[in-house]
Chains A and B, each alone.
Chain A
Amino acid sequence: MKSKKWLPLFVFMTIVAMLVGACAPAAVATPAPTTPAQVQKETVIVPQEVEKVVTATPPPSGPVTLTFWHGYNADTETPFLEKTVIPAFEAAHPNIKVQDVNIPYDQFHQKLLTAIAGGTAPDLARLDIIWTPEFGDMGALAPLDEVMSDFATYKDAVFPGPLSTNFIGGHYYGLPLDTNTRVLVYNKDVFSAAGIENPPATVDDFLADCAKIKALGANHWCFGDGGTYAWAVDPWIWSFGGAMTSPDYTTSTGYLNGAQTVAAYQFLKDGVDKGYIHPGIKGGGVDTWGLLGKGQIAMILEGPWFPPSFKSQFPDVKYGMALMPAGQGGSISVVGGEDIAMFQQSKNKEAAAEFIRFMLSLDTQLQMATVGQMPVLTETTSSENLAKLPDYFGIFLEQLKNAQARTPVSNWTRVEQILTDAGTAILNGKGTPQANLDDAVSKIDPLLPKPAQ
């Protein structure tokens, strides 16, 4: 009978199912974070009630588990967080466990939005400073100035610039966690092969050096970057004296399509056409670290996480660091960094606040500095503390004096998409810089906040 053939298959699958079921009880039996009851509760919480809910929550008595989402890099920062920082926190707070979730930067924004929409936001997240306005404006974040009774202490302890990215509609929705900027990183061996003695101080020097580097061969590029997003193009725009928007962020007309910004894009376009700039910037990206390590790209722009991480990958490569080459607008780089924010959906706001306090303590800030996270506490600039920071922070601190933030508006994700597409079109020769930027301005202006009356 044919059933003999069917039987073993069915038995096989059933057995495998049972085996798998038996060894995965934790994965199956654990109640999902969103049981229907919790969903109801979450929809009940409206901001007016948040204060009551929060003040009514007693300090955590039973053990609670906090989830903390971050995009720390996988080679040095995440292992340090998991092996040193979190264990120290858990030792000091026996009732609180921290489950950290590492999500790569490229997927972070989408995963977080999805989780918020799905009612499964983490308790805490480390947000790129440029995302905080969007999530705050959406109502996803808890106002820390209401949730943390000692918020004023922290507000006064951090640098005002990074703090400002958290102030949205009259409340603070986060605290800065780390700050950074990009400086010029160059491969010393390539520089000596091309006969360049010092890193370029100005854009003109930069171009002169590029000509020498290009002479090394077709497989050599003077400069490389991953695309035309704001993080990559802003330093050039600003150093050329251009701007994204008006200082109050209400319009991009006359700024993004102004003469200096156009000149910056023209400079990038010429660089790509002459083979100075690696074509990956036109789209598709490029492994800048790998090519810098191999000496095929001579210069890149990088942040303070670069030295420890690069060393773990390319221990033998000699590199130097310098300020952003100066143009008409001076040597101006882009301010980056992350905020730590708490979500409205968190049911452990007291415990979450404890973790924020811990991450902003002097000890933790100084520890995270060893893996390239620049501290945000003003007291770290005291000479005693400064001595504990890595030497290479010097150049970044110097550059931070002349660095600007990307446009902090709630529609940033859409604004940046338009900006990136315009840049890609320009570098690929699809229309002049002026035409593309005029078009971008007409699309970006409606997304910017209305001017105050």
Chain B
Amino acid sequence: MRLRPRIFKKSPVYVALIAGALVMIFPFIWMISSSLKPNLYVIEYPPQLIPSNPSLENFLEAWNANNFQQYFRNSAFVAITSTLLSVTISAMAAYAFARFKFPGQETTFYVLLGVLMVPNIIVIVPQFFLMKFLGLRNSLWGLVLIYTATSLSLNTFLLRGFFEQLPHELEEAVLIDGGSYLTIFANVILPLSTPALATVSIFSFMGFWDEFVMALTFIDDPAKRTLPIAIALFQGQHGTQWGLVFAASLIALIPIFIFFFGLQKYFVGGLTTGAFKG
């Protein structure tokens, strides 16, 4: 009985939220609608939201005209490997910063933060020569290493904040029982930090999946292209066939949507437990 007036009172809020939600998703609806219009060589005017002859022709053509399975595997390999590496290495570094006192600690941490401030792209030119020198251009492992390296400062910063909040008592108990610091890290710190690790993993994964500039610059070999590069090239090749371009885009979006919706509860868990209180 009490619910009714409350909802009524909140109806302006719902109206505002629905209006906002429309703005957020209408471009996607439009994208889906365009992708279902076969052979759209021209822009329709006035635009039709509901396609008159919906068909999956564009999806078939995009899937067949392009090596999408290969690009998908490349993107998945790079994003997942980089995420695992980055989160592991950042967690180790964050542990060192959060639980030890060592000479140069402050300075090192500020260097880390300083690099965090500066956009990664500004070092793309010297990185380009470095990758060339190391023979890592046109290599997916090259992307993995550089993605991992560029994500370390943010992930270390976030995890350090979380680790610092953890109580010390358990660790002392481990040491008294004769355990090492590695035991503490693996058996105490990591299990207690699940939500933070999950959050950092998801943010990292999405960043890597999406990464465009480095893949654009370091990869020439078509067999090593990742999805963002493939989509941009695809648009260049089929400039005005937007239906086809959007069909290809939607195919590329499916994995990230599955990943996000599948892991959403971990993600939100990590946030509500306060990973971002720093």
Contact = CB atoms under 8 A, between A and B. Distances in A.
A293 B41 contact: yes
Contact of B80 (A5, A20, A120): A20
Contact of B269 (A5, A36, A38, A99): A5
B43 A287 contact: yes
Interface in B41-91: 41-43, 65, 70, 73-74, 76-77, 80-81, 83-84
A57 interface: no
B180 to A, nearest CB: 19
A36 B134 contact: yes
Interface of B is mostly: helix
Nearest to A116: B220
A120 B269 CA distance: 45
A13 interface: yes
A56 interface: no
B138 A39 contact: no
A34 B141 CA distance: 13
Nearest to A39: B135
B73 A104 contact: no
Contact of A24 (B73, B131, B192): B73
B33 interface: no
Interface string A1-38: 11101100100011011001101101110101111101
Contacts of A38: 135
A294 interface: yes
Given A289-B41, A294-B42, A28 B128 contact: no
A135 B84 CA distance: 42
Contacts of A14: 84
B29 interface: no
Interface string B172-197: 00000000000000000011101101
Contacts of B236: 103-107
A32 B76 contact: no
A290 interface: yes
Contact of A27 (B43, B74, B240): B74
A2 B237 contact: no
Interface residues of A, number: 50
Contacts of B249: none
A118 B132 contact: yes
B133 A39 contact: yes
B22 interface: no
Contact of B233 (A5, A9, A104, A290): A104
B220 A118 contact: yes
A119 interface: yes
A105 B235 CA distance: 12
A308 to B, nearest CB: 15
Interface in A116-134: 117-120
Nearest to A314: B41
Main SS class of interface, A: helix
Give chain B's interface residue range (CB within 8 Å of chain A).
35 or more
B194 A114 contact: no
Interface string A406-446: 00000000000000000000000000000000000000000
Interface string B121-157: 0000000100111111111111000000000000000
B165 interface: no
A192 interface: no
B41 A32 contact: no
A193 B185 CA distance: 80
Given A9-B266, A290-B41, A36 B191 contact: no
B81 to A, nearest CB: 6
B138 A120 contact: yes
B222 interface: yes
Interface string B201-241: 10000000000000001101111100000001100111110
A32 B237 contact: no
A34 B137 contact: yes
Nearest to B232: A107
B70 A13 contact: no
A20 B239 CA distance: 31
A346 to B, nearest CB: 14
Nearest to A115: B220
A119 B136 CA distance: 11
Contact of B197 (A6, A34, A105, A107): A6
Contacts of A289: 41, 240
Interface string B95-136: 000000000000000000000000000000000100111111
B237 A104 contact: yes
Given A3-B191, A120-B138, A24 B74 contact: yes
A74 interface: yes
B155 to A, nearest CB: 15
A21 B191 contact: no
A32 B73 contact: no
Nearest to B241: A313
A101 B225 CA distance: 12
Contact of A20 (B39, B76, B135, B192): B76
Interface of B: 39, 41-43, 65, 70, 73-74, 76-77, 80-81, 83-84, 128, 131-142, 190-192, 194-195, 197-198, 201, 217-218, 220-224, 232-233, 236-240, 263, 266, 269
16 contacts: A2-B191, A2-B194, A6-B191, A6-B198, A9-B266, A17-B81, A20-B77, A23-B73, A27-B73, A28-B140, A35-B135, A74-B237, A101-B222, A107-B236, A114-B220, A287-B42
Given A33-B221, A36-B134, A101-B222, 14 more contacts: A1-B191, A3-B191, A3-B194, A13-B80, A17-B80, A20-B77, A27-B70, A27-B73, A34-B132, A105-B236, A107-B236, A119-B132, A313-B39, A314-B41
A-B residue pairs, 10 tightest by C-beta: A104-B236, A6-B194, A290-B42, A3-B191, A32-B139, A74-B237, A24-B73, A17-B80, A287-B240, A115-B220
